[in-house]
Chains A and B, each alone.
Chain A
Amino acid sequence: MTKYLIKRFLLMLPTLLGVALVTFLLIRVIPGDVVELRYSGDRGAVSQDILDKERARIGLDKPVWQQFATWMWGVVRLDFGTSMWTGAPIWEEIKLRFALSLQVAIMATIVAVILAIPLGVLAALKQDTWVDYAVRIFSIAGLAMPSFWLGIVLILLMLVVFKWLPPMVYTPFWVNPWQNMLQLIWPALAVGYRYSAVATRMTRSAMLEVLREDYIRTARAKGLMQKLILSRHALKNAMLPVMTVVAIEFAFLIGGLVVTEQVFNLNGIGLLFVQAVAHRDYTLLQALVMLVAGMFIVVNFLMDVAYAWIDPRIRYR
Chain B
Amino acid sequence: MRRTATLSFVILIAVLVAGVLPLAAQDKPRSGGELVFVVPSEPPSYDAHQEETFGLIHPTAPHYNTLLRVDPNDRTGTKPVGDLAESWTISKDGLTYTFKLHKGVKFHDGSEMTSKDVKASYDKILNPPAGVKSLRKDMYDAVKSVEAPDASTVVFKLKYPESSFLLALASPWNWIYKADILAKDPHWYEKNIMGTGPFKFVEHVRGSHWVGKKNPDYWDKGKPYLDGYRAIFISNSAAQVAAVRGERAMIQFRSFSPPERDQLVSALGSKVTVQESPWDCLNFVAMHHEKKPFDDKRVRRALSLALDRYEGSKALSKITLVKDVGGIQVPGTPYATPPAELEKLAGYGHDIAKNRAEARRLLKEAGVPEGFAFTFKNRGIPHPYEPLGIWLIDQWRQIGLNVKQEFIEASAYHPMLKRGDFEVAMDFQCGFIVEPDLDLARFVSSSDANYGKHKDTVIDDLYSRQSRTTDLEERKKLVRQFEKRLLDEEAHVIYTLQWHRIVPHLSKVHGWTITPSHYLNNQLDTVWLSE
List residues of chain A with CB under 8 Å of any chain B CB: 30-33, 36-48, 50, 53-54, 57, 85-88, 92-93, 96-97, 152, 155, 158-159, 163-165, 167-170, 262-265, 267, 271-272, 275, 278-280
Among A38, A43, A158, which residue has its beta carbon within 8 angstroms of that of B442?
A: A43
Which single residue of chain B is at the shortest CB-CB distance from A49? Answer: B448
Query: How near does chain B come to A184, taking the closest CB pair, in angstroms?
Result: 14
Among A159, A165, A265, which residue has its beta carbon within 8 angstroms of that of B236?
A: A265
User: B412: CB under 8 A from chain A?
Assistant: yes
- The interface bits of chain B over 493-529 (1 if a CB of A lies within 8 angstroms of the residue's CB, else 0) are 0000000000000000000000000000000000000
Which single residue of chain A is at the shortest CB-CB distance from B43? Answer: A86
Which B residues touch A87, using CB under 8 A?
44-45, 190-191
Are B249 and A31 within 8 A (Cβ)? no
User: B22: CB under 8 A from chain A?
Assistant: no
Within 410-430 of B, Cβ neighbours of A (below 8 Å) are at: 410-415, 417, 427-430
Assembly CA distance A44 to B410 (angstroms):
12
Are A165 and B248 within 8 A (Cβ)? yes
Are A267 and B208 within 8 A (Cβ)? yes
Among B53, B249, B411, which residue has its beta carbon within 8 angstroms of that of A278?
A: B411
Are A265 and B448 within 8 A (Cβ)? no
Looking at A54, A93, A155, A265, the one whose CB has the most chain B CB atoms below 10 A away is A265
Given the known inter-chain contacts A44-B414, A44-B449, A159-B242, please indicate yes or no for A265 contacting B234, CB distance below 8 A: yes
Looking at A44, A46, A275, A278, the one whose CB has the most chain B CB atoms below 10 A away is A44
Which A residues touch B133, using CB under 8 A?
39, 50, 53-54
Which A residues touch B242, using CB under 8 A?
155, 159, 165
Are A159 and B245 within 8 A (Cβ)? yes
Which single residue of chain A is at the shortest CB-CB distance from B439? Answer: A43
Assembly CA distance A85 to B43 (angstroms):
9
Assembly CA distance A45 to B247 (angstroms):
38
Are B248 and A167 within 8 A (Cβ)? yes
By size class, the interface of chain B is 35 or more
Count how many pairs of residues, one from A and one from B, have CB atoms less than 8 Å apart in the complex.
Answer: 137
Are A263 and B207 within 8 A (Cβ)? no
Assembly CA distance A31 to B230 (angstroms):
36
Known: A44-B414, A265-B236. 7 other contacts (CB 8 A): A32-B412, A41-B53, A48-B448, A93-B206, A155-B242, A167-B248, A265-B234
Query: How near does chain A come to B442, taking the closest CB pair, in angstroms?
Result: 5
Assembly CA distance A165 to B249 (angstroms):
11
Which A residues touch B239, using CB under 8 A?
168, 262-265
Are B248 and A271 within 8 A (Cβ)? no
Given the known inter-chain contacts A38-B44, A275-B235, please indicate yes or no for A44 contacting B206, CB distance below 8 A: no
What are 23 A-to-B residue pairs whose CB atoms are below 8 Å?
A: A31-B412, A32-B410, A33-B411, A36-B411, A36-B414, A42-B428, A42-B429, A42-B430, A47-B138, A48-B448, A53-B133, A57-B131, A87-B190, A88-B191, A96-B206, A164-B246, A165-B246, A169-B208, A169-B230, A263-B239, A265-B232, A278-B410, A279-B411
Are B409 and A32 within 8 A (Cβ)? yes
User: B238: CB under 8 A from chain A?
Assistant: yes
Given the known inter-chain contacts A38-B52, A168-B232, please indicate yes or no for A45 contacting B207, CB distance below 8 A: no
Given the known inter-chain contacts A32-B415, A262-B236, please indicate yes or no for A88 contacting B246, CB distance below 8 A: no
Are B238 and A263 within 8 A (Cβ)? yes
Within 224-254 of B, Cβ neighbours of A (below 8 Å) are at: 230, 232-236, 238-239, 242-243, 245-249
Which B residues touch A170, using CB under 8 A?
205, 208
